[in-house]
C-alpha cells in the first residue's frame, strides 16, 4: 500500500510541475510578444526605408556604370568603323560605312550601310546628259529620291540680272537658239543651297563647227594601243621562252660566236695572203736589177 501511495504522489508532483512549467512558458511568451511587438513594428516600418535607400544607392551607382558602358561602346564603335570615299567631288553624293572588326564569316572588312556625303557647293561648268542639233537636256546635281530637293533654274545674261525659270524639276530641256545661252541650277535641301552647276548651250552652227574641227583620233588611238599591246605580249613570250630554254639558247649563241670568230680569222688570213701576193711581183724586178748590175761589173 505504501509503495502504491508513493507512486501516486510522485505522479501528482510530476503533473503539477508540468502544469506550472507550461503556465510559466505561456506567460513568458505573451510578455515577450507584447514587448517585441512595438520593436518589430518599428523595425517593420524601418526596413522599407532601409530597403529604399540601397535601391536609390544602386540606382545612383548604376547610372555612372551605364554612362561608362555607353562611353566604352561609343569609343569602340568609333575605332571599329571607317568611312569610304565620297562618290562626288562637289555637291551631294554617297559613301560607304565600313566595319573593320566583327564582320560575319571572319572577313576583315564589311559594308554596314551607305550614307549621304557632301562636298563643295560650286560644281563649276557641267555637260548636258544628252544633246542633239535641236535639243539639249540638262540635269541638276541630286541624289535619289529626286523629289527630296528643291531646284531653281536660272537663265544667265551678261551684265544683267538672271531670269528665274518656271521649271522646278531636276531635268530641263532646252531648244537651241541663234545665240548661245548659259543656264544655272541650284539644288536646295531645307532651303539651304547644297549644289550649284552651270551649263553653256551652243548654237547649231557652233556645234557643227566643233564636231567638224574635232580630230578623229579615236581610230588612231585604238590602233596604236593595239599594236603596243601585241608588242608587249610578244616580248613577254620571248622572255619566257629564253628563261625556260636558257641552256639551249646559251649553246646556240656560243656556237654562233665561235663561227663568227672562225670566219673573222679566215678573212684575216685571206687578207694577209692577198697582200703577200700583191707585194711579190714588185720584189722580183728589184732582184733582177741587182743581178744585172753584178753581171755588168
- Give yes or no for a contact between 79 and 53, defined as CB atoms under 8 angstroms apart: no
Taking the C-alpha atoms of residue 270 and residue 265, their distance in angstroms, rounded to an integer, is: 9
Lay out the sheet containing 193-201: strands in order across: 122-125, 193-201, 181-188, 150-156, 163-164
pLDDT tens, N- to C-terminus, the chain (297 residues): 444 445 556 677 677 677 777 666 665 554 444 444 444 444 444 444 444 444 444 444 555 555 545 554 444 444 588 888 998 999 999 999 998 887 888 788 888 899 999 999 999 999 999 988 889 999 999 888 888 899 999 999 888 899 999 988 999 999 998 889 999 999 999 999 999 999 999 988 888 887 776 665 667 788 889 999 999 999 999 999 888 988 888 887 877 777 776 667 767 766 666 665 555 554 445 555 555 555 555
pTM of the predicted model as reported, rounded to 2 decimal places: 0.46
CA atoms within 13 A on the CB side of 14: 6
Lay out the sheet containing 135-139: strands in order across: 130-131, 135-139, 171-175
Amino acid at each position: 500500500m505504501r509503495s502504491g501511495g508513493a507512486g501516486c504522489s510522485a505522479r501528482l508532483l510530476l503533473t503539477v510541475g508540468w502544469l506550472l512549467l507550461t503556465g510559466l512558458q505561456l506567460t513568458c511568451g505573451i510578455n515577450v510578444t507584447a514587448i517585441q511587438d512595438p520593436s518589430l513594428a518599428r523595425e517593420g516600418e524601418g526596413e522599407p526605408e532601409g530597403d529604399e535607400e540601397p535601391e536609390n544607392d544602386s540606382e545612383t551607382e548604376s547610372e555612372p556604370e551605364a554612362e561608362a558602358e555607353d562611353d566604352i561602346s561609343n569609343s569602340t564603335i568609333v575605332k571599329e568603323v571607317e568611312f569610304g570615299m565620297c562618290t562626288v567631288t562637289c555637291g551631294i553624293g554617297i559613301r560607304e560605312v565600313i566595319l573593320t572588326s566583327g564582320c560575319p564569316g571572319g572577313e576583315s572588312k564589311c559594308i554596314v550601310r551607305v550614307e549621304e556625303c557632301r562636298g563643295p557647293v560650286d560644281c563649276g561648268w557641267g555637260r548636258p546628259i544628252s544633246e542633239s542639233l535641236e535639243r539639249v537636256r540638262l540635269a541638276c546635281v541630286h541624289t535619289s529620291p529626286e523629289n527630296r530637293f528643291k531646284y531653281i533654274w536660272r537663265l544667265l545674261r551678261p551684265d544683267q540680272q538672271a531670269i528665274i525659270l518656271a521649271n522646278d524639276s531636276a531635268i530641263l530641256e532646252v531648244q537651241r537658239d541663234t545665240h548661245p545661252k548659259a543656264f544655272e541650277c541650284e539644288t536646295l535641301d531645307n532651303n539651304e543651297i547644297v549644289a550649284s552647276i552651270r551649263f553653256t548651250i551652243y548654237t547649231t552652227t557652233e556645234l557643227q563647227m566643233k564636231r567638224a574641227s574635232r580630230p578623229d583620233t579615236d581610230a588612231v588611238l585604238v590602233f596604236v594601243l593595239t599594236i603596243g599591246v601585241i608588242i608587249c605580249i610578244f616580248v613577254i613570250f620571248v622572255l619566257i621562252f629564253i628563261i625556260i630554254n636558257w641552256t639551249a639558247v646559251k649553246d646556240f649563241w656560243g656556237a654562233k660566236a665561235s663561227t663568227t670568230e672562225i670566219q673573222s680569222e679566215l678573212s684575216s688570213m685571206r687578207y694577209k695572203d692577198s697582200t703577200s701576193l700583191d707585194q711579190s711581183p714588185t720584189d722580183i724586178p728589184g732582184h733582177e736589177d741587182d743581178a744585172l748590175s753584178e753581171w755588168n761589173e
